[in-house]
Structures are given as C-alpha cells and as structure tokens.
Structure 1
Amino acid sequence: MATIIEAGVPEFIKIIYIHKQNESGSLLNFQNFLNQTILTNYALISSLFLNSLHFTGRPASR
C-alpha cells in the first residue's frame, strides 16, 4: 500500500512512501526513516530561511 507522508512544516514537500516487506524489511524501513528525517530537516531549515528572508528582508544567518 502507498501512503503519503508529509515531511515537516512546509506542505509542498511530500514523500510517496512505498511499504515493501521482505527479508530485509527492517533495513528498508530504517533507510526510509533516514530519508524522511533528512528531508524533514531540509524542509524545516529552508522554511526558516525563507521566512526570515520574507519577514526581515535579510537572511537570519547574517
């Protein structure tokens, strides 16, 4: 079955997660968890950067 998982605060980043269960199911689940975590961190950091740029006119890192 295919479920759609939202990754983080912005709703424009979505992951299509195909659940495949076989002899290495736990390894696949762990890799999917890593991919979801990386994309979530990227979505959060990019949204914070773009929001700071929008509200203040300059990036928050400067």
Structure 2
Amino acid sequence: MAVFASADVPLRARAVCEAMDVEIAPNNINNVRLKLKWLVGRGILVETKQGLFTQPRP
C-alpha cells in the first residue's frame, strides 16, 4: 500500500513490481496483477482503466 500512497497516478502491475524491487518476470507480474485485482474486489484499491490500479479517493 505504500507504493500507492506515494504515487499520484494509477499504476500498472509492472510498475508495482519495480517499486517493490521484485524481479520483472512474466510470472511475477501476473501474480502481482492477481493480488491487485483481489484488492479491488475487497474495495481497498480501484481499477480506473483496465490494468491501472490506484487507491480510492475520498
């Protein structure tokens, strides 16, 4: 969540991997994308456009 707190624009899964110092590999990016979609389902994040994730704004 710290990645999104410091970001002023929606992020893609690849950018989240880079910010968390996770190896940029297709499997890692897909795993992060699945976790981001799970957070969207829980209402913690929102997907503004397909593949772009951010925190909901009050």
In which range does the TM-score fall when normalised by the shorter chain? 0.3 to 0.5
Q: Give the TM-score taking structure 1 as reference length.
A: 0.36
Larger radius of gyration: 1
Q: Which has the higher contact order (CA 8 A, sep 6+)?
A: 2
Greater share of strand: 1
Q: Give the TM-score taking structure 2 as reference length.
A: 0.38
